[in-house]
Amino acid sequence: MDKVKLSAKIREVFGKKTKKGKKEGLVPAVVYGKKIESKSLWIKALDFSRLLKKAGESTIIELDIDEKDKRNVIIYEIQKDPVTGKFIHADFFQVRMDEEIEKAVELNYIGEAPAVKELYGVLVKSLDEITVKCLPADLPSEITVDISSLKTFEDHICIKDLEISPKIKIDLDPETVVALVSPPRSDEELEQLSEKVEEDVTKVEGVIKEEKTPEGEEEKKPARNASRSDAGGGETKKE
């Protein structure tokens, strides 16, 4: 597939010192590979976001460092802030175009399953991505799964049914199920799911059910220790 391009600049600040660059819309990144020296980089967050929307994560990228050092890379890892969704860091792996690579490729489900629309079934996606092995130039950005062939509950889509180039190797059983449609739940099953099971707290380890005192009876209190005068029947000696 065609390569996409991304510009980068050498980064000479690290750790907390990268805060200023992040505020200016830059993302800390690094590029490394077999028998090459790693380099710390800056990339523009906006450019990187556009690249991902256009080509996805499994695409060969022509990384142009300081407009003089061009490298063929793939995205190895992306770190995002779990709250804001902003990029925190990106790792790029430099590849050789004459050596096979392994990369997880996302499955893109398209179409509409008649078994869902007409029979009210539930679409079950067994896989979200597949790891492939191929030359960098043959790496797909995604693998399409057309679910319009799922007309009954007996139909299913397997690895062997996917339209994949013969140049791409997949280390999975061809009969591995990718997608199917399961029948809707029966009224009896739905009723069972809606029933609430009341749990007896006395059966829970470490929990003791408090016993209530019958109405009209006073709670018995432990007797106080008898004084020495009561025990001896005489006066208490003063010491």
**Is the pLDDT score of 71 beyond 60?**
yes
Distance, CA of 67 to CA of 62 (rounded, Å): 11
pLDDT tens per residue across span 21-63: 999 999 999 999 998 999 999 999 999 999 999 888 889 999 9
CATH code of the region 96-186: 2.170.120.20
> Which tokens sit at 129?
């991505």
What per-residue confidence (pLDDT) applies to 135? 95
pLDDT confidence tier of residue 3, bands split at 50, 70 and 90: confident
pLDDT tens per residue across span 78-89: 999 999 999 999
- Asked if the domains at 1-95 and 96-186 fall in one CATH topology, the answer is no
Domain locations along the chain: 1-95, 96-186
Strands (E), the chain: 4-10, 26-33, 36-44, 61-65, 69-80, 87-94, 101-110, 122-125, 129-134, 143-146, 156-158, 169-170, 177-182
> Which tokens sit at 121?
């079934």
Q: Which residues pair with 146 in a beta bridge?
A: 110
Burial of 150 (0-12, 13-18, 19+ CB in 10 A): buried
**Is the pLDDT score of 181 beyond 90?**
yes
pLDDT confidence tier of residue 215, bands split at 50, 70 and 90: low
Q: Which CATH superfamily is domain 1-95 in?
A: Ribosomal Protein L25; Chain P (2.40.240.10)
What per-residue confidence (pLDDT) applies to 238? 41
What is the torsion angle, in degrees rounded to the nearest 10, for the CA atoms of residue 5, residue 106, residue 1 and residue 41? 20
**Is the pLDDT score of 232 beyond 80?**
no
Distance, CA of 18 to CA of 210 (rounded, Å): 60
pLDDT confidence tier of residue 192, bands split at 50, 70 and 90: confident
Letter for the amino acid at 23?
K
What per-residue confidence (pLDDT) applies to 56? 87
Residues 6 or more apart whose CB falls under 8 angstroms from that of 199 comprise none
Least confident interval from 90-94, 142-146, 193-197: 193-197
Letter for the amino acid at 90?
A
Q: In this prediction, what percent of the chain has a pLDDT beyond 70?
A: 78
**Is the pLDDT score of 200 beyond 80?**
no
Q: Are 57 and 75 in contact (CB under 8 A)?
A: yes
Name the pairing type of β-strands 61-65 and 4-10.
parallel
Q: Which residues pair with 6 in a beta bridge?
A: 63
